Amino acid sequence: MKKIGILLVLAATAAGAQSEINRSLTDFAAPQGTVATSANFPIQRVLMPTYADVYCAGFINRQTLPDANFVEGGLQTPQTTKFVRGDVIYLKGSGYTPGAEYEIIRALRDINEYEMFPGQKKLMKATGQPYEEVGRVRVIDTRSKAAVAEVEYSCDPINPGDTAIPFAEKPMVAFHAPLRFDRFLPTGSKVSGRIVMGKDFDSELGTGQKIYFNVGANQGVKVGDYFRAVRNYDADLNDPVDSLSFRAAISEDTQMKQPSFDPGLWERGNGPVIHVRDLPRRAVGEIVVIGTTPTTATGMIVFAMEDVHAGDGVELDDQTQSQSQ
């Protein structure tokens, strides 16, 4: 009987959650000047961050963090240089106490050095130093010059030279019911920035991937806030590869008036000139904040209509924000 009661409670909870989801979708009122269709208001089902997403996301910090405490080696040094969960490692530095937990981080450099968008290097320099969150360790012995620690959790293998900083618990993001995604919402948010880079220096990202942008706690950004990634067609026009499509023929041979996109001196046809700056700005995805510093935020893409790019703009999504309270 007890088992049946538990099943009934779970069924009732699931039914209540589904009812809330249905209500959030059916109560949608299309903004003035629009007709709601699945093309301009698709249903946004949010992918929620897991423990690994939150604790392995990485971050950008305005200043370089102190690195006097670092990983010196491990039990099998020098034969082993990669350490994962369950391994024993040695920590150099001071202030270690038995039982204390430390987060292992790694200052990163982009060995590619190719700009994913014009001005990325300058923006990165102004934003700060990117860090990878590699894992978490617990100190188990402090009797030697090097503290002994056990790896409790690893996002990636820990290397000698990685930095150790005191571990701090992070808040998790609350569940968000599906809602309608306004794909062509005009700008209006007071909090906006730009995606500086993607995790692992990726430039084209999708649902579940992590990004870093240049607004943070100083601008009121907090964990659980939702931002939308937005892109103007100017970004395609200024891209050395995507811009080639604007130079290609866009008309039918039988068209009397041949249109052209922002033509150069010798490229204009005899038809209308189409200026990409006049095309509607489009939202390409939704991002939830999973970590902040005073000047930056780490986000996870929870919904994407198309690839999200390094260099895309981000704006606090007031619509999603109000429905997540």
Q: What is the DSSP letter of 285?
A: E
- Using CA atoms, how far apart are residues 116 and 125, in angstroms rounded to an integer? 14
Q: What angle do CA 233, 236, 242 make, to 5 degrees?
A: 145
Predicted confidence at residue 30, as pLDDT, reads 84
Predicted confidence at residue 2, as pLDDT, reads 47
pTM score, whole prediction: 0.86
Neighbouring C-beta atoms of residue 243, cutoff 10 Å: 15
Tokens coding 142: 């402090």
Per-residue pLDDT of the chain (325 residues; tens, 9 = 90+): 544 554 444 444 444 444 544 444 556 788 888 998 988 889 988 899 999 999 999 999 999 999 999 999 999 999 999 999 999 999 999 999 999 999 999 999 999 888 888 899 999 999 999 999 999 999 999 999 999 999 999 999 999 999 999 999 999 998 888 888 999 988 877 899 999 999 999 999 999 999 999 999 999 999 999 999 999 988 888 888 888 887 777 778 888 888 888 887 677 878 888 888 898 999 999 999 999 999 999 999 999 999 999 999 999 988 766 555 5
Predicted confidence at residue 292, as pLDDT, reads 97
Tokens coding 105: 């981080």
Tokens coding 290: 């999973």
93 conformational bin, left if phi > 0, alpha if psi -120 to 50, beta if neither? left
Predicted confidence at residue 188, as pLDDT, reads 74
Tokens coding 192: 């906006």
Cβ atoms of residues 179 and 323 within 8 Å: yes
Predicted confidence at residue 322, as pLDDT, reads 57
